Amino acid sequence: MLEKRDFYINGQWVAPIDGTDHHVIDPSTEEPTTIISLGGKADADAAVAAAKAALSGWMATPVADRIALVEKLIEVYQARAEDMAAAMSAEMGAPIDMSRSQQVGAGTYHLQNFIRAAKEFEFSRPLGDHAPNDRIIYEAVGVAALITPWNWPMNQVTLKVGAAAIAGCTMVLKPSEESPLNAMIFAEMMDEAGFPAGVFNMVNGDGPGVGTALSGHPDVDMVSFTGSSRAGKLISKNAAETLKRVHLELGGKGANVIFDDADDKAVKRGVLHMMNNTGQSCNAPSRMLVQRGKYDAAVEEAAAVAGKVTVGPASEEGRHIGPVVNEVQWTKIQDLIQKGIDEGAKLVAGGPGRPEGFNKGFYVRPTVFADVNNEMTIAREEIFGPVLSIIPFDTEEEAVEIANDTPYGLTNYVQTQDGARRNRIATQLRSGMVEMNGTSRAAGAPFGGMKQSGNGREGGIWGIEDFLEVKAVSGWAAE
């Protein structure tokens, strides 16, 4: 495992100014896997100062050169893929095969999509034929604070760093203290790729310390945060004093609407999607809405599918799911499973406690509740574990009403062979994304939500635009 390192600021690894030691716990064993330093306000200030000093030079760097550095980063990233996979597996519990394919693979995927989008994007363009002397210029927002979560570490780091780098922003990354090792490897990659000193900086810390210092810092022009809605609200309040841009990717409580005419694999697909990454995904289809004619069969099938989902250590190869990230999350999930039982939902798979054969590690039984109604706690709160709630409905109108009856609005799912109905429902669902019949969003499609799932969009050209200001110039001289 990675040896203890400090912070990456202004192109160098530096010791913390006011750091404290922090043990990173392997959730499969509950044992420390390494020790890092958590910084404080002085460390955040040093990183922001480095980013601010580098901003003018990086903004003036031709876009083609910025793109070329991201292309070099992909080469370095791919060469270090196994190191990255091992780090994420040990620190947040992704099974090693899943870590190699999905967790590491997400980073390559997003960086490649940014490069494709950037090469087609006009950073300076005419307003229109009616105004030959007016110009629209897209330029960097400025210094960006990037605060990333533990559940999909490289997915979120690359979505933010790749877009910010191409846009011309300088940045300070604060990864989650639960999964910091991947970010430290990533900082090594940025250094090896040749990004100029100060363009990318990385400081480990927790939310109340470094997170608060960055979101309220007067020299930070933008905060891009992925995490809980609770933390997103606190960041927004803290950032409001300096009127900086705040980009939030928050929680979800996705509805997976399965009609009577859904394809034969719809239920199985929905259960396995829910259990992927041990349910620790903001876009998980955690509410399965099933039309009455298919309901009993769907409940039986969902229970059977969940019963075949195996649980095991993250270090072992295979298609099992691993533990959840820590004891706090494990306890929260157990409390919510018990809440589901207490409120009268029908437990058809899994339940409280660790799976059979485990007396250590933050393992959760793949759990399915049937006969849930949308007022139950398990249908309202984001559980962030392998727990599925099945809710019956009768009509299309009722399905849309239930799906939209949530404070969240990230991803919803629709399963029906009726094309007109699919299209009709997609326009009625209040979510930033709708995926239908198992079709994933295409490369470069925007990721983001509505309501308490946040604002802004990540990925492709929309992700780059989130880090850009729009400048209108009149009197532009003909070239």
pLDDT at residue 7, rounded to an integer: 96
- 300 catalytic, yes or no? no
231 within 8 A of 239, measured Cβ to Cβ: no
pLDDT at residue 255, rounded to an integer: 98
Tokens of 47: 């990183």
Category of 425 on φ-ψ map: left (φ > 0), alpha (ψ -120 to 50) or beta: alpha
Q: Which of 177, 178, 188, 282 is an active site residue?
A: 282
> For residue 351, what are the CA distances in angstroms to 306, 332, 417?
11, 13, 33
How do residues 183-226 score in pLDDT, each as one tens digit?
999 999 999 999 999 999 999 999 999 999 999 999 999 999 99
Statement: residue 4 has pLDDT above 60: no
How do residues 319-357 score in pLDDT, each as one tens digit?
999 999 999 999 999 999 999 999 999 999 999 999 999
pLDDT at residue 256, rounded to an integer: 98
pLDDT at residue 426, rounded to an integer: 98
Q: Which of 177, 178, 188, 249 is an active site residue?
A: 249
- 469 catalytic, yes or no? no
How do residues 19-42 score in pLDDT, each as one tens digit?
899 999 999 999 999 999 999 999
How do residues 122-141 score in pLDDT, each as one tens digit?
999 999 999 999 999 999 99
pLDDT at residue 19, rounded to an integer: 85
Statement: residue 3 has pLDDT above 90: no
**pLDDT > 90: what percent of the chain?**
98
Separation between Cα atoms, residue 328 and residue 72, nearest integer Å: 39
219 within 8 A of 48, measured Cβ to Cβ: yes
User: What average pLDDT does the segment 213-241 reach?
Assistant: 97
Separation between Cα atoms, residue 153 and residue 159, nearest integer Å: 10
Statement: residue 252 has pLDDT above 80: yes
Tokens of 232: 């997103």
Statement: residue 307 has pLDDT above 50: yes
pLDDT at residue 478, rounded to an integer: 85
346 within 8 A of 369, measured Cβ to Cβ: yes
Separation between Cα atoms, residue 345 and residue 387, nearest integer Å: 12
Check residue 361 and report its DSSP letter. S
417 within 8 A of 401, measured Cβ to Cβ: no
User: What average pLDDT does the segment 238-265 reach?
Assistant: 98
pLDDT at residue 444, rounded to an integer: 95
Residue 65: in which H helix or E strand, if any?
Answer: helix 63-79
Nearest partner of 71 among 199, 201, 189, judged by Cα: 189
Average predicted confidence (pLDDT) for the chain: 97
pLDDT at residue 344, rounded to an integer: 98
Residue 200: in which H helix or E strand, if any?
Answer: strand 200-202
Nearest partner of 375 among 339, 349, 335, judged by Cα: 339
Q: What is the DSSP string of 88-128?
A: HHHHH---HHHIIIIIHHHHHHHHHHHHHHHHH--SEEEEE
pLDDT at residue 2, rounded to an integer: 44
User: What average pLDDT does the segment 143-155 reach?
Assistant: 98
Longest dimension (CA), the chain: 74
How do residues 87-120 score in pLDDT, each as one tens digit?
999 999 999 999 999 999 999 999 999 999 999 9
Category of 430 on φ-ψ map: left (φ > 0), alpha (ψ -120 to 50) or beta: beta
Nearest partner of 349 among 391, 309, 292, 290, judged by Cα: 309
**pTM, whole model, 2 decimals?**
0.97
